Each structure stands twice: as C-alpha cells, then as structure tokens.
Amino acid sequence: MATQRLTDESPAPRGLVLVVEDEPAIADLLRLNLRAAGYGVEVVRDGAAALRATRDLRPSALILDIGLPSIDGIEVCRRLRAENDWTPILFVTARDDEVDRILGLELGADDYVTKPFSPRELVARLGGVLRRVRGDSTATEQLKAGRLVVDLTNHSVAVDDVEVALTATEFDLLAHLLRRPGVVFTREQLLSEVWGYASTAGGRTVDVHVAQVRAKLGDASPIRTVRSVGYAAERAPRESAGTARRGG
C-alpha cells in the first residue's frame, strides 16, 4: 500500500512554513520532512523573495538560510523585525561561527542550526519554537514583577501598561523564570526546559537571550545573574536600575 503524504493541495494542520534556501537539495529535504510532519511548505530561494512571501503569505514560521544571494538571511531578519514583524525565525547556516550565531539571536531570531543538520532535529526545534509562540491556550495566569506584567493568555508583555515586543523564545524564557521566582536555573537547565534540547554551545545562547530581554525591559527586568551558576527572576525586582542590570 502506498504511503500517504502531503501534497501542495493537502491541508496543513500545523501551519505554513516558509523555507528560504538557495540550495535545491537542502530545500527539497526540508520540504519533504516538514510535509511529513504536517506542515504546509512554501520554498523561495533569495532574500528579496523571502520578504515578499512573508508579507503576502503570513507564514507561521520561517526557516531562513543565512547565506542567500542578493539579501542575506541576517538582513531579511533585520528588515522584518524593523517592520515589527515577529514571525518566528529559525536560522540555518553553513558558517559554524559564534559571531554569526549571536548576531542572529540579537536581531530577534528564535533558534539556530548549523549545516549539516539532522532534519528530524530541525523539525523538533521548529515545533518547540511554535509551541512557545502559541503558548498554553488553557492558561489564564498573569505573571507580575513590579511594573512588569506577563500575560500568558495573550502572550504579551507590558511595562507600565506599555507593550514590549519579545520574540517567542524571549517570552518563554521570561515566563519560565517568573513561574518560579527566586529559583536559580543553570544554563543547561534553561536549555532543556525552555528550548527543549541540550547543546555544547548553548550556554552562550541563553546569555544572549537574557541580555536581549533585559535590554527590552530596562530597569523593569526581574532577571538577575547568579555568578557561576545561572539566572533567577524575582517577582519584586530591586528599584535601583544599576542593581537591576548588575551581572550583564
């Protein structure tokens, strides 16, 4: 009996993923694995097409190669975030370089994989990003820390009633820490519990996301660094801006 598979006309219960990849073999591999996992897939091969397709199709997520012709993946991410478009982005790159990885995360990417990669791992990472975006539809709790309010139902963050735009991963990291105020989490624990995987280079990923959350929340950030251990959040952060930012 033939194996059932998704076609371009088949329903995509898990949403549409825009794959931006100029290498046909890799694009085909991603298309095959994403369809098998229940996603709809649209493939484009350069940065300009990626920007048009994101605006026209409103995909659930982008799998975005960094090394693209004309406009590279980092610039695509920069332009989307500048337009206040927070579609989840998972970078794919052949450059196994920490500078590229950290720059991508600082621009607002949600995750990062390096070629060669396991298609199953990439699909799992994408699923984790989308779960963070969609959140728990049954949650009604608001997490509060001084002037900060994290609404789990609306997946929103506000400081003094002014909304602050966080990526899906930044939101999930902040909420995870606030759910257990005062508890110190190691970087390895945060990778496992927030990202859903472990990585030998992942500790720096956690540091960058914490720095991004702090930068966006300013002196309302409840996250503190516990030297040589990890991070914790307090429901009532100290009032001193210098104290709130201590530890980077």
**Residue 61, domain CATH:** 3.40.50.2300
Residue 4 lies in a domain: no
Instruction: Give the residue among 140, 217, 138, 137 at the shortest CA–CA distance from 173.
Output: 217
What pLDDT score does 119 carry?
87
Residue 87 lies in a domain: yes
Q: Domain residues for 100?
A: 16-134
pLDDT exceeds cutoff 90 at 76: yes
Residue 158 banded pLDDT, cuts 50, 70, 90: very high
Residue 43 lies in a domain: yes
Cα 21 to Cα 30: distance, rounded to the nearest angstrom: 9
Residue 139 banded pLDDT, cuts 50, 70, 90: very low
Q: Are 145 and 237 in contact (CB under 8 A)?
A: yes
The answer to whether residues 184 and 127 belong to one domain is no
Residue 220 banded pLDDT, cuts 50, 70, 90: very high
pLDDT exceeds cutoff 60 at 247: no
What pLDDT score does 50 carry?
95
Of 2-11, 61-70, 201-210, which has the strongest mean pLDDT? Answer: 61-70
Last residue within a domain, chosen from 134, 162, 194: 134
What does residue 129 show for φ and ψ, rounded to 5 degrees? Answer: -60, -45
The answer to whether residues 102 and 130 belong to one domain is yes
What pLDDT score does 114 carry?
82
Cα 174 to Cα 177: distance, rounded to the nearest angstrom: 5
The answer to whether residues 64 and 154 belong to one domain is no
The answer to whether residues 169 and 109 belong to one domain is no
pLDDT exceeds cutoff 60 at 100: yes
The answer to whether residues 153 and 228 belong to one domain is yes
What pLDDT score does 3 carry?
33
Tell me the CATH number at 159: 1.10.10.10
How many domains does the chain divide into? 2
Residue 146 lies in a domain: yes
What pLDDT score does 13 carry?
55
Last residue within a domain, chosen from 113, 134, 155: 134
The answer to whether residues 122 and 148 belong to one domain is no
The answer to whether residues 93 and 185 belong to one domain is no
What pLDDT score does 108 carry?
82
pLDDT exceeds cutoff 80 at 16: yes
What pLDDT score does 137 carry?
43
The answer to whether residues 105 and 210 belong to one domain is no
Last residue within a domain, chosen from 107, 134, 161: 134
Residue 191 lies in a domain: yes
What pLDDT score does 160 carry?
93
Task: Find out whether the peptide bond into 237 is cis, omega within 30 degrees of 0.
Answer: no
Tens digits of residue pLDDT in 163-195: 999 888 899 899 989 988 888 988 888 887 787
Mean pLDDT of 140-161: 86
Residue 117 lies in a domain: yes
Mean pLDDT of 32-55: 92
Residue 164 lies in a domain: yes
The answer to whether residues 57 and 159 belong to one domain is no
What pLDDT score does 199 carry?
54
pLDDT exceeds cutoff 80 at 198: no
Cα 18 to Cα 14: distance, rounded to the nearest angstrom: 13
